[in-house]
Amino acid sequence: MRTSAYLRLANQPPPLMGYDLFSEDRPLVEALRREGATERDEECAAFGRLCGGAPLELGRLANENPPKLRRDDEVEFHPGWHELLRTGVEHGLHAFPWADTAPGAHVARAAKFMLLAYAEAGVGCPLSMTYSVVPALRADPELAAEWEPRLTSRVYDPELRPAADKAGVLIGMALTERQGGSDVRANETRAEPAGGDGYVLNGAKWFCSAPMCDAFLVLAQAPGGLTCFVLPRVLPDGTRNGFHIQRLKDKLGNRSNASAEIELREAWATRLGEEGRGIRTIIEMVVHTRLDCVLGSTALVRRAVADATHHAAHRVVLGRLLAEQPLHLNVLADLCLDSEAATATALRLARAVDDGDDAFRRLATTVSKYWICKSTAPLVAEALECLGGNGYVEESVLPRLYRESPLNSLWEGAGNVNALDLWRAVERHPESVSALLAEVGLAAGGNPRLDDAVSRLRRELDAPEDAAYRARRVTELAALCLQASLLVRHAPPEIADAFCATRLDATGGRSYGTLPTGIDCTAIVERHRPHADAAPTVRPSTAG
């Protein structure tokens, strides 16, 4: 086996592992403190050290050994998957802020969710849905009282048995159907009353996320219209509910996680919320899972940037480190700008949950989900190219990140769905628009390009003509104005100025590595590069 010393002699960077993912991410540390979770520093650093070790290898194993369907209601996972999910549950990433009243709980949870997603993104699905279902369940105090103690437990118990017999449970969702997709009003699953709040469901779901969970939120057509239900996999008497897995999806990425097509046959479920108000009931869950889409994409971006900057700091080409070569440095700094902006935005959104600032978080989360998740794939592709041919090889982990990179843009409403939500907010929730503009306005006068962009945004929002046609452009501009405002207020000047010059103006080009002259690229890259391995690189001789 080739040792790290051999690799350095062979002009190969040492493995990037065995270090504190949190403390080596300066923008994340600063955002955590700024957004109200200062006292969680050591807690996050300890988790960062944990995730920078064994979980990196467990993530690889879980992806190389994807889940298998063993019978029509059971899925078999690699042990590495269970260990990663156990890590997430034992550290409360699935629900601890709902039971933790200390300041900054949602911000700390966001940081830790990103750290685990850095190691492996697949387990984020059941953790995210369980986190997001709690506020939805609170629409029914009786159901919340029944489920919440087990949802907020830090006990991981994958055994298939009645939820009432378990100390800890996880909840997934099954909303979309073959004929409707994101148009959930087209759902054809039927729900027939069975006494009290109980119903019997029959139908099929085209996409069931995390089918190994203990229960699911399901939409179905009740006599009063589209309604939300809680459907357990195992009934209280120990018999299995009418939940049948037809097949597991063969996905582009997210390979460690199971997603399924399911059929419901006489499946018993409990109504959550009023009949006919299923979308209103489920929307609270969707807002929180959209936040986790932002967190997951930000983690992917961070890992891609960490790998690219680490490689450049150790790889010698034509007698100089890649990190010393002007054009390569331009590319790396350009990547770092988006990583910093995503990190600042992600934790600001999490603070809005801590603050109960619903007006801000609803629209700000939607526009940020659109832009950060949409821009992840091209960034990961560029980071892969920074490693040359090595980046195209599975051992580098960049191919896995690349396959993963489009997912969060699809999950919880693809790009068009989120972009059109902006105009729904303009029409139905003007307080959300005002809150977003007020946040952006906190940086007024800090950068002329940002001031100009905000003026453009206001004009766009005030013009109803062709609103749907312009939805992506306006949503992108809103997200960039929010990011720029955060950077102008909180980031080093070289980062804020470069971001505004290239994201809000036409100074830069359409691809990464087109930053204008006069930017301190070295300072930007050093701020984002992990300093995990300080051992000197042995440079090959350039003689003769």
Domain end position, chosen among 276, 308, 342:
276
pLDDT tens track for 305-349 = 999 999 999 999 988 999 999 999 999 999 999 999 999 999 999
Among 88, 96, 91, CA closest to 58 = 88
* 340 inside domain: no
CA distance 317 to 176: 50
DSSP category for residue 240: B
CA distance 451 to 447: 6
CA distance 98 to 105: 8
CA distance 14 to 408: 30
| pLDDT score at 361 | 93
The model's pTM is 0.94
Run of H or E including 341: helix 326-355
* 345 inside domain: no
Q: Is the dihedral of CA 461, 464, 466, 469 positive or negative?
A: positive
| pLDDT score at 137 | 94
| pLDDT score at 8 | 57
Domain end position, chosen among 239, 255, 276:
276
**Residue 228, domain CATH:** 2.40.110.20
Neighbours of 459 (CB within 10 A): 10
* 227 inside domain: yes
Domain count along the chain: 2
CA distance 230 to 123: 22
Domain that residue 213 falls in: 160-276
* 223 inside domain: yes
| pLDDT score at 533 | 58
| pLDDT score at 282 | 85
* 379 inside domain: no
| pLDDT score at 538 | 35
Neighbours of 410 (CB within 10 A): 14
Query: Which residues of the chain are modeled with pLDDT < 70?
Result: 1-9, 533-544
| pLDDT score at 73 | 80
* 358 inside domain: no
* 64 inside domain: no
CA distance 311 to 528: 13
| pLDDT score at 5 | 55
* 491 inside domain: yes
